[in-house]
Structure 1
């Protein structure tokens, strides 16, 4: 029984046959409603982010707009509309500007619809199946086809919906891996029984394997969401300090710059670096892989412990005042003028600028030098930084600061921020008819003094170390193993120590 087909297959039926029954998650939109949403989205894109043409030309934008305009003559459901306009935002090269899959479709995937119970990893432009329900597909199998659609085509379709700063492929790969099971039904028919063609690991032969489409159990999903909402994740699951080889080598994992209170983060840093001093640790590995960023001040707070000199974390942030930004500021502060006059020192200067700067104008805010922590708390040993395409926003800014000040080598994959900086301070919106929600950045963060360019490339590591298929299968941490063996000079540790 086919419950979910390729979303475009519903489009023509809306206009020609009124009796066509929509799937439970779909919302039919007339051409007039679609045009209103599309016009609203264009205006917000053009008048809210600092520079919507940072990584695309005006002619490229005009071509995309014309292509979408030509397809709004018939009715579409809201998910088909999402598929149509989403590439416009993903091509902007701003990971902080995006729209989200309509809630109806998310509800469908989580409660009613089929998904393919597989976990994939992308290596060298190919997708490999690392996990499958019941182990029906051997780990490390190269994904060739799903229901007759090639793995390369699936990868291309999913990449069109993945966001990144500039043109950083490593970020697209990470997002594809994370969203594979959830977004695959949006671009491909998933049935109760699916044919998955793979090339078995270390073999040249292909194998066609039947994989059951699965649904998430409704009560279980609801209970799980309730438990997640009620549970407080221990902070040591987000940020933690572990010793890899006796007391001489430690790894500090910073999973997020946004989760947990500022007080918990500050106490974690203070306690950890005090412990490193007491144990006499000489090698410190900072792990920012898949850290999506967060509060700007938490980056320099970490670097303060690694230097004895003042440093510039970022050079400047450019604010664009817009109607959407001002509405957001008013919603948060209620009475912005009064709040700024009374509590200006506690309000982010980007918010103050966004409120005071006339709509449509720009303001450049230059940032001060940051002083190091007290000498007795500073870590003077060798430091190594781990990062990948999932290290976006503030974690990419930290990587730039770390490299620019020559504190140590960067190891892993290209980080998720461009060589000039990133965007940020996103505000949320909702389209009037499709109810599609999204976010738009309101500031541009520049890294280097006087550098206002937009280069689409990422900061490359000093040591590019990509995941190895064999290590992924066995559970080893390829990048950590490289640091220990190649940079510190420790022989390979037991598998239980090397697990990622």
Structure 2
């Protein structure tokens, strides 16, 4: 036990000293080379959104900037444009031993919880002293307008596929203080100008710590509920909430939940099913396939193919699944100019379940609907015209891409000098039969765009759910996305 504690203390001490130390140009170039090599050898869809010539020019420009000694933070920030150019919300860029959202500062953090919508921000909580009224609009921080701050941070954020910003804004809602400290600064105090009604005020606020932010978040968590649940609102309507595509305990609870839920839905003659997938960031791919089998009305293929970059051993030190390393020579096959992973349930033709639901379906999404959730929603969206009850999508555009999700098993390498971990999803999940979707860089765009207001957040009012239930009662009353 003592040796473990000593190792932990030593690791933290080394990490603190590394943050403060300066990396030489030789060390920076070594880490840059490892970074570039890892992307080229691992990422399955590196040029999906950014063409190779553009990427090559970005690499050249970044390498040229590593011409002087830098701190770990300077190097971390300097590499961000390359990560953002991937347009891959799964990419991981984490300072070893640190919280990924607070990589350099655990103190001197911004003290207000913010909510971003339509280019504006509102105060919806105080991490420290309650000196700013909740519901006020944020005008500026240390003299910099809110819009300018957002424009500074968004180009340094990766949580979105393609050219989506919804996932990034959701990330700002949760981790603004960490992003501000990393990419703008960590001053001793914050001068905040806010507007309440027609009155504008300026106050100077003390900073807070990472610990106090996390304590606030923990204290304001909603009461825990089962991650998979049914809520019957009337004799004809039920809400099915799935918070994540993960199994529980013995691995049977998700499967048994679906089996029991759809049997009950069928027995009660439910005509309206509301499927709530908001804030579901994904999980295990086969569980998305399984859920779709309870909604399909004919045999289907979920994925067209699953791309991988290469089959041979990587040329650099890396961690990845031992099982995959052992099995890849059997399950990775040549496909055109590249390779494909072939051992996945979603590649096969799957039949609908005997209790598959064919009634009216309403799917709730937001910017945190990501990864496996977006795959499932894309499959359902592409096939909805063939369902007797159709499918209506409500909420906000997903953070994940419609046609492609790069994730699956990760390969992780630590850059030798800066000690930053680079994690790359090894599989490119290409959805089947989605060619008619007109956008190559977007997520699932709801038929009815409904976004919670700051007032909704403060009052814990679920505007999206209320809108959906009213739409079920009076379909002609709904506002469409064009409005």
Does the pair score TM above 0.5? Answer: yes
- Partner Cα distance (1:288, 1:351) in 2: 36
Unpaired runs of at least 5, structure 2: 1-15, 385-389, 478-483
Query: What's 1:381 paired with?
Result: 359
Distance 1:334 1:189, change over 3 A: closer
Q: 1:304 aligns with which of 263, 270, 293?
A: 293
Contact preservation (8 Å) 1:111, 1:217: no
The residue correspondences of 1:185-204 to structure 2 (distance < 5 A) are 185-200=181-196, 203-204=197-198
Q: 2:248 aligns with which of 256, 260, 280?
A: 260
Q: In the alignment, is residue 482 of structure 1 matched against residue 467 of structure 2?
A: yes
Q: In the alignment, is residue 82 of structure 1 matched against residue 72 of structure 2?
A: no
Query: What's 1:415 paired with?
Result: 398
Distance 1:146 1:465, change over 3 A: same
Contact preservation (8 Å) 1:79, 1:105: no
- Partner Cα distance (1:470, 1:167) in 2: 28
Q: What's the CA shift string for 1:120-158, capped at 9, x where partnerless?
A: 221112222211245432223222221223222321232
Distance 1:66 1:141, change over 3 A: farther
Compute the RMSD of aligned alpha carbons: 3.4
Query: What's 1:154 paired with?
Result: 149
Contact preservation (8 Å) 1:26, 1:104: no
- Partner Cα distance (1:482, 1:240) in 2: 20
Contact preservation (8 Å) 1:140, 1:469: yes
Q: 1:44 aligns with which of 17, 38, 41?
A: 38
Q: In the alignment, is residue 436 of structure 1 matched against residue 413 of structure 2?
A: no
Q: What's the CA shift string for 1:245-271, capped at 9, x where partnerless?
A: 234322111111136354221122122
Find the residue that maps to 2:352 and give its secondary structure.
coil
Q: In the alignment, is residue 398 of structure 1 matched against residue 376 of structure 2?
A: yes
TM-score normalised by structure 1 residue count: 0.78
Query: What's 1:273 paired with?
Result: 262
The residue correspondences of 1:18-417 to structure 2 (distance < 5 A) are 25-104=19-98, 112-133=106-127, 134-163=129-158, 164-200=160-196, 203-216=197-210, 236-243=225-232, 245-258=233-246, 260=248, 262-321=251-310, 323-324=313-314, 332-333=322-323, 336=326, 340=327, 352-354=330-332, 361-363=338-340, 365=342, 367-374=347-354, 377-406=355-384, 407-417=390-400
- Partner Cα distance (2:304, 2:169) in 1: 30
Structure with greater strand percent: 2
- Partner Cα distance (2:315, 2:424) in 1: 9
Find the residue that maps to 2:137 and give its secondary structure.
strand
Distance 1:235 1:214, change over 3 A: closer
Find the residue that maps to 1:70 and give its secondary structure.
helix
Deviation, 1:32, is 0.7
Distance 1:101 1:32, change over 3 A: same
- Partner Cα distance (2:350, 2:411) in 1: 28
Q: What's the CA shift string for 1:272-328, capped at 9, x where partnerless?
A: 223334444332111111211121110121122223322222222122225349987
Contact preservation (8 Å) 1:102, 1:437: yes
**Paired positions, count:** 439
Deviation, 1:361, is 4.2
Contact preservation (8 Å) 1:292, 1:392: yes
Find the residue that maps to 1:307 and give its secondary structure.
coil
Distance 1:415 1:106, change over 3 A: closer
Find the residue that maps to 1:158 and give its secondary structure.
helix
- Partner Cα distance (2:253, 2:329) in 1: 25
- Partner Cα distance (1:397, 1:320) in 2: 20
Distance 1:464 1:118, change over 3 A: same
- Partner Cα distance (1:176, 1:352) in 2: 42
Contact preservation (8 Å) 2:95, 2:419: no
